[in-house]
Amino acid sequence: MSFGIDFSVIAVLFCGFWLFREPPKARFGNMAAACGLLLAVVLVLTRHDISGPGVVVLAALIGAVPGIALARAVSMIQIPAMIAFQHGAGGIAAFLVSFVELTRPAAASMLPVNEVSGVLGLAVGSLTFSGSMIASAKLAGRMQQAPRVLSRHTLLVVACSLAMLVVGVLSFFLSGGAAMSLYALEILLGACLGFLLASRIGGADMPVLISSLNATAGFAAALCGMVIENRLLIAFGATVAASGSILTYVMCRAMNRDIIRIIFPVYQGDREGDRIVSAARPASPDSRKAAVTAGQSDGSPPFDRALAAISSARSVIIVPGYGMALARAQFRLAELAALLEQRGTEVRYAIHPVAGRMPGHMNVLLAEADVRYEDLLEMEDANPLFAETDVALVVGACDVVNPAAMATEGTPISGMPILLAADARRIVVCNYDRQPGYSGVANLLYDNPRTIMVPGDAGATIGSLLDAIRNQTTQ
């Protein structure tokens, strides 16, 4: 009977996860998964005698009240940073539970598998916590967003990993205060390793970092489940770990990157000492001046040429990026697309897997603006269509359309598959300025003679285009 109840709760959770496969059903799937987790909490509380129910209620309120307030206050732009923070919260919960279980008086009779799981929970949980805090700070703009590389960084990573292994093994042979000190040292070393790993991952690799932290948070939870012998926690943690691992693999494939190369990156031109990696030099003033005038032989303003190109196009592919999120331009963009379709223009959206700051970021933003899911094209479906498309409208995207990924070696995006917006007959770029994107690599698309660069706030630019085309339609 007990196993049957467990299975029912797990089935509800998996039903929610299964619905995530179809975006129209994802919201219901999220609610189903939340119900599954709530059932699990109720099940655990009813199965065990709670010596201090008031403490449990107080702890639930301390977590729930600010959590609800945070969820209501966070905007879509801040979602990636919040998700990274949540992974960190899961990590700190994991290593605290492991620490408490390992230092209880009854820990002396703990089975070897439980003890090993506990020590691993200390390491993985603290690593997840510190790595997630670094990721959250980068995504929130609290830290330098480019990869940060210390002198002999790889050596520090290896040394910290070996120290964690030695301390973990030694803790099995000691008890009392000595063991507790080693447990605390294991937490400290795990936090240091998380910092070292996350600090030098940045730029276009951030979605991979987020998905991998999702996996480690789930793994830490599963380890806690083994320590306290809770089947539900093991199952839930393993599910999150597996899904995060699969997502990490998908992200790496989308970027044509090896996870080892992301953790241990090698950039050309690296120099010794503490430094910020910026693997591409900004274009020289002369080259920038030439790029600004490229394709502008008629002398007309960029906005007028962009308006003429879009209003006369029979087919348009929109490429959204993080700048669209910052400008909250998805709503005006959806209106512009609807207006163009009314005029007989074929409009589609090309979505790069790592556009934005987390996997699926652009899909969520466009869904918020009620864009039809069938209008969203995956990269492999969109790329063959650019060459026969009249206008590629780039809105706040940089790295994911940067030809430097294919033309330049030794940069953070080298070898990353991109959306081939440069193949379109005309390219209209609505980006804030010509500065490099998140990876720090100068965008060669801006130098394309078929590119019309309309600098400024993407929301304002799209709004002006919408108003101008609407006026054309009513005249």
pLDDT tens digits for 303-314? 999 999 999 999
Contact 62, 70 (CB under 8 A): no
pLDDT at 10: 64
How many other C-beta atoms are found inside a 10 Å radius of the C-beta of residue 273? 9
Higher model confidence: residue 48 or residue 436?
436
pLDDT at 351: 93
Find the range with the poorest average confidence among 247-256, 362-371, 414-423.
247-256
Highest mean pLDDT among 88-97, 230-239, 403-412: 88-97
- Decide which of 277, 300, 315 is a domain's last residue: 277
pLDDT tops 70 at residue 334 = yes
- In tens, the pLDDT along 2-15 reads 555 666 666 666 67
CA-CA-CA-CA torsion sign (404, 410, 411, 412): positive
Q: How far apart are CA 182 and CA 176, in angstroms?
A: 10
pLDDT tops 50 at residue 277 = no
Higher model confidence: residue 383 or residue 273?
383
Q: How far apart are CA 296 and CA 257, in angstroms?
A: 37
Same domain, 58 and 98: no
pLDDT at 40: 76
Average pLDDT over residues 265-289: 42
Same domain, 329 and 351: yes
Find the range with the poorest average confidence among 23-27, 266-270, 334-338, 342-346.
266-270
Assign 255 a pLDDT band (cuts: 50, 70, 90): confident
What is the span of the domain harbouring residue 199?
80-277
pLDDT at 127: 96
One-letter amino acid identity for 308? A
CA-CA-CA-CA torsion sign (323, 328, 333, 338): positive
By residue count, the chain amounts to 475
Any idea which residue has 């805090």 for tokens?
133
CA triplet 32, 33, 36: central angle to 5 degrees? 90
Higher model confidence: residue 201 or residue 22?
201
Same domain, 247 and 324: no
Looking at the structure of the chain, the number of domains it has is: 3
Which among 373, 355, 156 is positioned nearest to 254, based on CA atoms?
355
Same domain, 414 and 273: no
Average pLDDT over residues 81-99: 91
Same domain, 273 and 296: no
Same domain, 49 and 117: no
**High-pLDDT (> 90) share of the chain, %:** 44
Same domain, 59 and 84: no
Q: What is the CATH number of the domain that holds 316?
A: 3.40.50.1220
pLDDT tops 50 at residue 57 = yes
pLDDT tops 50 at residue 217 = yes
pLDDT at 23: 67
Give backbone dihedrals phi and psi of 258, rounded to 5 degrees, phi first. Answer: -100, 135
72 falls within a domain: no
108 falls within a domain: yes
Token pair for 14:
């998996």
pLDDT tops 90 at residue 105 = no
Token pair for 426:
């005309």
pLDDT tops 70 at residue 28 = yes
- In tens, the pLDDT along 156-184 reads 999 999 999 999 999 998 888 899 999 99
Higher model confidence: residue 10 or residue 397?
397
Same domain, 95 and 34: no
Same domain, 86 and 62: no
Average pLDDT over residues 54-76: 82
319 falls within a domain: yes
285 falls within a domain: no
pLDDT at 98: 93
CB neighbour class for 25 (10 Å; exposed up to 12, middle 13-18, buried from 19): middle
CA-CA-CA-CA torsion sign (412, 414, 416, 420): positive
355 falls within a domain: yes
pLDDT at 123: 95
What 3-state class would DSSP assign to 295? coil
Same domain, 137 and 226: yes
- In tens, the pLDDT along 361-376 reads 888 888 888 898 889 9
Q: How far apart are CA 26 and CA 373, in angstroms?
A: 12
75 falls within a domain: no
pLDDT at 388: 95
**High-pLDDT (> 70) share of the chain, %:** 88
371 falls within a domain: yes
Same domain, 100 and 225: yes
- In tens, the pLDDT along 431-475 reads 998 888 777 788 999 999 999 999 999 999 999 999 999 998 776
How many other C-beta atoms are found inside a 10 Å radius of the C-beta of residue 214? 26
Q: How far apart are CA 362 and CA 353, in angstroms?
A: 9
Exactly one of 399, 433, 447, 457 is catalytic; which is it? 399
Contact 419, 383 (CB under 8 A): yes
Higher model confidence: residue 173 or residue 74?
173
- Decide which of 252, 277, 302 is a domain's last residue: 277
Higher model confidence: residue 232 or residue 4?
232
**447 carries an active-site annotation:** no
282 falls within a domain: no
CB neighbour class for 228 (10 Å; exposed up to 12, middle 13-18, buried from 19): middle
Highest mean pLDDT among 55-64, 68-77, 121-130, 199-208: 121-130
Average pLDDT, the chain: 84
pLDDT at 292: 39
Give backbone dihedrals phi and psi of 348, rounded to 5 degrees, phi first. Answer: -140, 165
pLDDT at 427: 96
Contact 196, 162 (CB under 8 A): no
pLDDT at 406: 87
* H or E element, residue 326: helix 322-327
pLDDT at 66: 86
Same domain, 144 and 31: no
pTM for the full predicted model = 0.75
pLDDT at 296: 42
- Decide which of 277, 301, 325 is a domain's last residue: 277
- Angstrom CA distances, 340 to 81, 345, 390, 428, stand at 34, 5, 13, 15
pLDDT tops 60 at residue 287 = no
Any idea which residue has 């990274």 for tokens?
84
pLDDT tops 50 at residue 55 = yes
pLDDT tops 80 at residue 204 = no
For residues 152-182, one letter each, b for 16 or more C-beta atoms within 10 angstroms of the residue's C-beta and e for the rest, the string is: ebeeebeebbebbeebbeebeeeeeeebeeb
